[in-house]
């Protein structure tokens, strides 16, 4: 996969771009004008700050979550934001996926973080997408905010067509495994070698800001705005 060097994030409150470094993120959280304005209006409620990171470092989210949030709810969140294609199985675990260290979905974050500072998640036991969830620090939830609220999300990686280098509209699921530039634009899709060879244009699926892009049946229509709107403090970024 084409990994971008910067992996920068975007603040969901003020749309500022923030480098993916703990000190840059912490600095922005302490001086974000939109968050400071909210802080003066309502008393804060302590919560966890989670760094959610896919195996491909290009994709990450910084999220505020209440201690009472159950893993089941985190599972729904991850499916809606990044993963859901055909209702595959998923699992949380203390160690890397498939190590027999499963954590029950009924557990809440408070009890998980009493045991560990980080844990894993896997979606789909076949063509799996693995995610690491790390306790980043303590956050403050405002009145009216969702118990799971996104603070920052990675800027969508650049996806240029492998043939003409213009912005691409799709990713080739075959090239994904063989090339660092698996993307194709609308114009080049028809004559793309894999599509011609297999006579199958379903090889190409839509571009998404998700670590599951190009995997299984994951496509741009799997990201349903009405299902994720509540997780963003303002507009979806």
Write out the two tokens for 17: 């771009």
Six token digits for residue 12: 């969901």
Residues 10-29 that bind Zn ion (CB under 5 A): 11, 13-14, 16
User: Measured from the CB atom, is 96 or 196 closer to Zn ion?
Assistant: 196
Stretch that binds Zn ion, among 67-75, 129-137, 208-216, 222-230 (CB under 5 A): 208-216
Total residues at the site for Zn ion (CB under 5 A)? 18
Q: Smallest distance from the beta carbon of 163 to Zn ion, in angstroms?
A: 4
174 binds Zn ion (CB under 5 A): yes
Query: Considering the rule CB under 5 A, would residue 32 count as an interface residue with Zn ion?
Result: yes
| Residue ranges in 135-164 that form contacts with Zn ion under rule CB under 5 A | 161, 163-164
Q: Residue 13 CB, nearest distance to Zn ion (Å)?
A: 4
CB 107 → Zn ion: shortest distance, Å? 26
> Is 112 one of the binding residues for Zn ion (CB under 5 A)?
no
The CB density around residue 144, as the number of other CB atoms within 10 Å, is 8
Shortest spacing between CB 75 and Zn ion, in angstroms: 16
Residue 103 or 130: the one with the smaller Cβ distance to Zn ion is 130
Positions that interact with Zn ion (CB under 5 A) = 11, 13-14, 16, 32, 85-86, 161, 163-164, 172, 174-175, 185, 188, 194, 216-217
């Amino acid at each position: 996969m084409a990994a971008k060097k910067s992996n920068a994030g975007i603040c969901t409150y003020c749309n500022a771009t923030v480098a993916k470094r703990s000190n840059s993120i912490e600095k922005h959280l302490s001086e974000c004008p939109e968050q400071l304005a909210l802080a003066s209006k309502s008393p804060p409620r302590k919560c966890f700050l989670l760094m959610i990171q896919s195996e491909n470092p290009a994709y990450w989210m910084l999220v505020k979550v209440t201690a009472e949030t159950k893993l089941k709810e985190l599972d729904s969140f991850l499916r809606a934001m990044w993963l859901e294609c055909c209702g595959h199985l998923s699992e949380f675990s203390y160690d890397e996926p498939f190590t027999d260290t499963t954590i029950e979905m009924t557990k809440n974050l408070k009890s998980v973080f009493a045991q560990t500072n980080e844990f894993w998640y896997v979606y789909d036991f076949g063509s799996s997408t693995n995610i690491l969830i790390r306790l980043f620090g303590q956050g403050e939830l405002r009145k009216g905010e969702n118990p799971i609220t996104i603070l920052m999300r990675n800027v969508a990686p650049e996806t240029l067509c492998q043939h003409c280098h213009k912005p691409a509209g799709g990713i080739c699921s075959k090239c994904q495994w063989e090339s660092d530039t698996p993307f194709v634009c609308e114009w080049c899709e028809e004559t793309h070698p894999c599509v011609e060879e297999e006579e199958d244009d379903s090889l190409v699926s839509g571009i998404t800001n998700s670590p599951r892009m190009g995997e299984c049946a994951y496509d741009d229509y799997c990201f349903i705005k009405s299902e994720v709107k509540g997780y963003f403090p303002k507009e979806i970024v």
